A and B are shown apart, each in its own frame.
Chain A
Amino acid sequence: MEPLIQVQDLVKVYDLGEVKVQALRGVSLSVERGEFVAIMGASGSGKSTFMNILGFLDRPTSGQYLLDGISGERLSRDELAETRNQKIGFVFQGFNLLSRTSALENVELPLVYTGTQTSKRRGMARNALFQVGLEGRSHHHPSQLSGGEQQRVAIARALVNQPSILLADEPTGNLDSKTSAEIMGIFQRLNREVGITIIMITHEPDIASFAKRNILFRDGKIVDDHVNLAPSNAIGERAEK
């Protein structure tokens, strides 16, 4: 079976008029199904640009990227949106939930754009909330939830379409260490028990230590890529409220 993610000589240049910024200078990488990868690097190292390209939110200037055999190169804007919807779940640093909308409806959001029937949508969204342990909070609005709970809603939203990969950009950046551990617990459980592939950006070494593989970016290149032989265990961590 071929790898889930295949990246070959990825280059991204931002043309800012007078100056051209080289965000990625030839990145090659492959990720197998079921991996849990942490990408580290200082700000400006190109890790966010890399994530955007992995998430089909942006296109590389040159180089090859295949997700599950799909290349975004020739896809239109709408086809990219469809691929994101089907294959990718996003978890952001700022949670990015719709305010004034219940947790359940936030989780339903990706399903709205696939035209899923309302009743089926409800069921799938409830199931995803159950996976992150928030089944009792489905009718709360984001403002009524703690940071950790909001991020769990975001994870449920990322999971609801059963994507091939979960992309998390600094998922613990806005959380305290206890809550961060709880989120990592959820990631580890989803990875081990459900077999979901996760790629996560972080700049905190303790957070990276929960992943099975650590990659370090510097100046738009991968400078280190090693398997974490003894990842920390966060399963069972609970930041009880």
Chain B
Amino acid sequence: MTRLLASLRIALRALMVNKLRSALTMLGIIIGVGAVIAMIAVGSGAKKRIAEQIASMGSNLLIVMSGSSTSGGFRFGAGTVPTLTVDDAKAIQNEIPAVRYTAPSITGVVQVVFGNQNWSTVAFGTTPEMLDIREWSLSSGRVFTQQDVDGATKVCILGKTVAENLFGGTDPVGQIVRIKKVPFVVVGVLSPKGQSTWGQDQDDTIFVPLTAAQKRLFGMQFPGMVRSISVQAREPELMKEAEDQITDLLRQRHRIQPNQENDFSVRNLAEVMSSQEESARVMSLLLGAIASISLIVGGIGIMNIMLVSVTERTREIGIRIAVGAKGRDILLQFLIESLVLSLIGGMMGIGLGVAGTLVLATFTQWPTLFSMEAILLAFIFSGSVGVFFGFYPARKASLLNPIEALRYE
């Protein structure tokens, strides 16, 4: 213990003698650790945001899109031609046990006006189940009812963004807005959900009863047709089963021959999400790996300086060995020196990483997340770098021949 303390004191003193050199050597580690911490924070922030978005999309969500259909040699993309009907949605709901809710919907871009304010947004004509599927609650007012859907009542629910743009701070419930010049009564306001995975503002939307949308807003050529049906499966494990059964059911209902293509498509959003999650994971791994390289470069810097230091202090090492220092005393002395360099560098690097991440987060609005494990890991990693890259110079010092070392000029 006494020896260890003595070694520590010797090491600290040696580092203090060359302050500038020690500081520059440390800089490599500081930058390395800082980069690792910042990159991990950015990576886990992105992962966390995706996880939140998955949750905000609603769980176990399948979307059945209508079309692609072929008409006179022209092929139309999915959703351009409505091939699904409200009855399809009802059939899915009633005949497939794996399904909990279905909600048919049609969408379109609309201009909304209130007083002297106006705003362009996406209107969803749908049924009340949509809010259950999306797990979306209201911040004020009420949801429109099945009666509203049946009677094509001109009521609407505003997304947070729309409400803010049209009404500022005041409560829109009970007010009348004009959607495509048709007056609608605002009955509710949705609670905010934030951005979707693909960066879309989910709160920039209006929900109206499906029938009202069909009749008043989009003037569908084919009454009863919808663009898409949102389906929520009962359990995550039932997603695949539900997907297959929906496909079978709809092929049957649409009388599609076995050799014909589907005139609809079923999308599993969980799959889309999990692939995005995977790419975020790979991304953060990549960032971490690149940052680690800078830490290793910092370690090489330590090794370089330690080798110079050993050469410079050959005579000192000779004196120590002559008066009775054993190999491990010398080894320990230099190892502690590089360990102190890398650990102090590591601590300062943590500070730099945290500060850098906060600055980055402020300027870029990227989501960031610090974890104690990442910080601890970076610290331990920097210590290991010190030991790893300090070992060779320290060993070289401990193996010096005292006679030659004492003669060294």
Please tell me if the beta carbons of A81 and B316 are within 8 angstroms of each other in the complex: no
The residue on B at minimum CB distance from A95 is B319
B-binding segment of A113-121, A197-205, A207-215: A113-121
Q: Is the CB–CB distance between B321 and A52 below 8 Å? A: no
Cβ-based interface call for A7 (8 A): no
B286-328 contact mask (Cβ, 8 Å, vs A): 1 or 0: 0000000000000000000000000000011011111111111
State A92–B318 Cα separation when bound (angstroms): 12
The verdict on A113 contacting B326 (CB below 8 Å), with A96-B315, A118-B2 known, is yes
Query: Which range holds the interface residue count of chain A?
Result: 20 to 34
Asked if B402 is at the interface (CB within 8 A of a chain A CB), the reply is yes
In the complex, chain A residues whose CB is within 8 Å of the CB of B328: 78
Residue B52 lies at the interface, judged by CB distance under 8 Å to chain A: no
Query: Is B17 in the interface zone, CB < 8 Å from A?
Result: yes
In this assembly, does A82 line the interface, its C-beta being within 8 Å of a C-beta of chain B? yes
List, in ascending order, chain A residues with CB within 8 A of B327's CB: 77-78, 81
Question: How many angstroms from the CA of A218 to the CA of B312 in the assembled complex?
Answer: 35
- Measured in the bound complex, the distance between the Cα atoms of B324 and A81 in whole Å is 4
A81 CB to nearest B CB, Å: 5
Contact B329 A113 (CB under 8 A): yes
A77, A90, A113, A114: most-surrounded residue (chain B CB, <10 A): A113
Chain B residues whose C-beta falls within 8 Å of the C-beta of A98 in the assembled complex: 316, 319
A84 is an interface residue with CB less than 8 A from chain B? yes
Identify which of A58, A84, A92 contacts B324 (C-beta below 8 A). A84
- A112–B6 contact, CB under 8 A? yes
Answer whether residue B377 sits at the interface, using C-beta atoms and an 8 A cutoff: no
In the bound complex, what is the Cα–Cα distance between A117 and B5 (angstroms)?
Answer: 11
Docked CA distance A58–B321 (Å): 12
- Does B255 sit within 8 A of A, measured CB to CB? no
B323 interface neighbour in A78, A110, A116, Cβ under 8 Å: A110
Q: Does A227 contact B (CB under 8 A)?
A: no
Bound CA–CA A117/B2 (angstroms): 7
Residue A85 is within 8 A (CB to CB) of chain B in the complex: yes
How far apart are A121's CB and chain B's nearest CB, in angstroms?
9
Contact mask for chain B residues 13-29; partner A; CB cutoff 8 A; 1 contact, 0 none = 10001000000000000
A118–B5 alpha-carbon span in the complex (Å):
10
A84 to B321, CA, bound (A): 9
A92-B406, A113-B329 known; A81 vs B321 contact (CB < 8 Å): yes
Partner of B322, one of A57, A77, A97, A118: A57
Task: Please determine whether B2 and A109 come into contact, CB atoms closer than 8 angstroms.
Answer: no
Q: Is B238 an interface residue (CB 8 A)?
A: no
Contact B319 A96 (CB under 8 A): yes
Minimum CB–CB distance from A149 to chain B (whole Å) comes to 18
CB–CB A114/B319 < 8 A: no
Q: In the complex, which of the residues B319, B320, B323, B329 has the most CB atoms of chain A within 10 Å of its own CB atom? A: B323
Question: Which residues on the A side are within 8 Å of B406 (C-beta)?
Answer: 92, 96
Q: How far apart sit A82 and B402, CA to CA, in the bound complex (Å)?
A: 14
A37 → chain B closest CB, angstroms? 20
Residues of A within 8 A of B316 (CB): 98
For residue A192, CB closer than 8 A to chain B, the reply is no
B326 contacts across to A, CB distance below 8 A: 77-78, 81-82, 113
With A and B bound together, what is the CA distance between A110 and B324 in angstroms? Answer: 6
Cα distance A113–B319 in the bound complex, in angstroms? 12
Residue of B nearest to A109 (CB): B323
Q: Contacting B403 at CB < 8 Å: which of A58, A96, A114, A117? A: A58
CB distance from B22 to the nearest CB of A (A): 14
Is A100's CB within 8 Å of the partner chain B?
Answer: yes
User: Can you report 30 A-B residue pairs in the complex whose CB atoms are below 8 A from each other?
Assistant: A52-B403, A58-B403, A77-B327, A78-B328, A81-B326, A82-B326, A84-B322, A84-B323, A84-B324, A85-B323, A90-B322, A90-B323, A92-B406, A96-B319, A96-B322, A96-B406, A98-B316, A98-B319, A100-B13, A100-B17, A109-B319, A109-B320, A110-B323, A110-B324, A113-B3, A113-B320, A113-B329, A115-B2, A115-B3, A161-B324
7 cross-chain pairs, A with B, having the tightest CB-CB distances, nearest first: A85-B324, A78-B326, A110-B323, A113-B324, A81-B326, A112-B6, A96-B319
Given pairs A81-B325, A113-B320, 9 additional interface contacts (CB within 8 A): A52-B403, A82-B326, A84-B323, A85-B324, A92-B406, A98-B319, A101-B13, A110-B324, A161-B324
